[in-house]
Amino acid sequence: MSNAIQWVRSLVFNVQMYVAMLVVGIIYTPAAIISADGAVAACHAYCRYIRWSAGWMIGLKCEIRGEPPTDEVMVAPKHQSFLDVLMIYGAMPRGKFIFKAILKYAPIIGQFGLRIGCIPVDRGKRGAAIKKMVADVRAGRARPGQLIIYPQGTRIAPGVKAPYKIGTGALYRELGQPVVPVATNVGVFWPKRGVMRKPGTAVFEFLPRIEPGLEVPEFMRRLEDQIETACDRLNEEAGFHG
C-alpha cells in the first residue's frame, strides 16, 4: 500500500475518531450524570471502538501483554500517543488518570475524565502541584481504582530519552501501593504529531510490579530501567532501531 493511500486512510480514521468521541459522549451523558459507573462504561466503550476501528481502517492492531491489574495499585506507563491512553485504560476495570489541569476544560474528555475520578494537576507549579496531587489522592477525593500516572509527564517518541519526574516517586512513597510499569511501542506506528498512522501491531505490556517499601531514588531507578528496557525490546520487535 502506498504512503499516499495510507495517509488518506489515516486522515479519515483521525476524523472519525473525534466524531465517535462526540457520539459516545452524547449517548452516555444521561448515564454518566446518574452514576460514575455510566462514565466508566462510556470510556470503555470508546476504547473498544477505537481498537476495533484502528484494526480495519488503518491496519493497526493492538496487543495487550502481561496481566492488567484489577486491584488498588498505581500504574506507570510509557506515554507515546493518544492510543496508549485508550488501550491502557480499556485494559483495566477502573482506571483514573493524573492529567494536566487544562484538560478538565476540554469538551467530553474533561467532563468524563473528572466523572471517572481523574485528578487534574497544574504542572507549572511543580512542588506545590505534587503536594496537592498527593493530598487529593490521600484525602479520598479520587475514587477507588487503578491510579495511572505518566512518569515522564508527556508523550515521548521512540528512541528519545527524557527524564522521569519525581511526582511518581512522591506518590509511591506516600500511598504505599505497588506500582505496575507499562511499556509500549505504539509510537512507532502512531507518532506524537502528524496525520500518518502506520499499519502493524502495537504492543502494550504490563510489567512485573514494583512493591512498596523502596527508597524513592531506588524506586525511580527500577521504574525507569524496567520501562526503558522493555520499550527498547518492543521497538526492535516493531522494526525500530533508534
Reported for 207-212, long-range contacts at CB under 8 A and 24+ positions apart, including other chains, are 207/66, 207/180, 207/181, 207/182, 207/183, 208/181, 209/69, 209/73, 209/178, 209/179, 209/180, 210/172, 210/178, 210/179, 210/180, 210/181, 211/178, 212/172, 212/175, 212/176, 212/177, 212/178
The predicted pLDDT at position 87 comes to: 96
Helices assigned H by DSSP within the chain: 3-34, 36-57, 82-90, 109-115, 127-138, 166-175, 216-237
Query: pLDDT confidence of 30, banded at 50, 70, 90?
Result: very high
Q: How far apart are CA 30 and CA 27, in angstroms?
A: 7
175 or 53, higher pLDDT = 53
pTM recorded for the entire structure: 0.92
Q: In this model, does residue 110 exceed pLDDT 60?
A: yes
Angle at 10 between CA 104 and CA 66, to 5 degrees: 65
**Distance, CA of 47 to chain centre:** 11
Mean pLDDT of 53-76: 96
Task: Quick: pLDDT tens for 183-233.
Answer: 999 999 999 889 999 999 999 999 999 999 999 999 999 999 999 999 999
Taking every pair of Cα atoms in the chain, the longest distance, rounded to a whole number of angstroms, is: 54
Query: pLDDT confidence of 2, banded at 50, 70, 90?
Result: confident
Cβ atoms of residues 98 and 116 within 8 Å: no
Mean pLDDT of 7-22: 97
Range with the largest mean pLDDT of 18-27, 140-149, 233-242: 18-27
Q: In this model, does residue 138 exceed pLDDT 80?
A: no
Q: In this model, does residue 143 exceed pLDDT 90?
A: no
Using alpha carbons only, how large is the chain's radius of gyration in Å? 18
Query: pLDDT confidence of 241, banded at 50, 70, 90?
Result: confident
